[in-house]
């Protein structure tokens, strides 16, 4: 019976000693995903140049 009480006391002491600490938890920053631009954005400048050239040719 005496050994059982000593074993229980050691188990209780070991579980209290391995409890967590008071340090602040480390929180990682959220990942920010930037959405890709549409494929039509690259064609705007060539279309604008084509309109300007067509207007210049039509005025002659």
Is this model's pTM higher than 0.85 or not?
no
**Arithmetic mean of pLDDT, 32-49:** 77
pLDDT of residue 53: 93
**DSSP secondary structure of 7-60:** HHHHHHHHHHHTS--SPPPP-PPPPP-PPPPPGGGGGHHHHHHHHHHHHHHHH-
State the chain's maximal CA–CA distance in angstroms: 113
- Give the H/E segment covering residue 17: helix 2-17
Check whether 1 has a pLDDT greater than 90.
no
**Arithmetic mean of pLDDT, 37-57:** 82
Q: Return the residue matching tokens 């050239």.
A: 53
């Amino acid at each position: 019976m005496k050994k059982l009480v000593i074993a229980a006391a050691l188990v209780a002491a070991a579980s209290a000693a391995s409890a967590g600490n008071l340090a602040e938890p480390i929180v990682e920053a959220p990942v920010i995903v930037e959405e890709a631009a549409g494929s039509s954005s690259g064609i705007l400048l060539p279309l604008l140049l084509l309109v300007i050239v067509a207007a210049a040719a039509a005025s002659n």
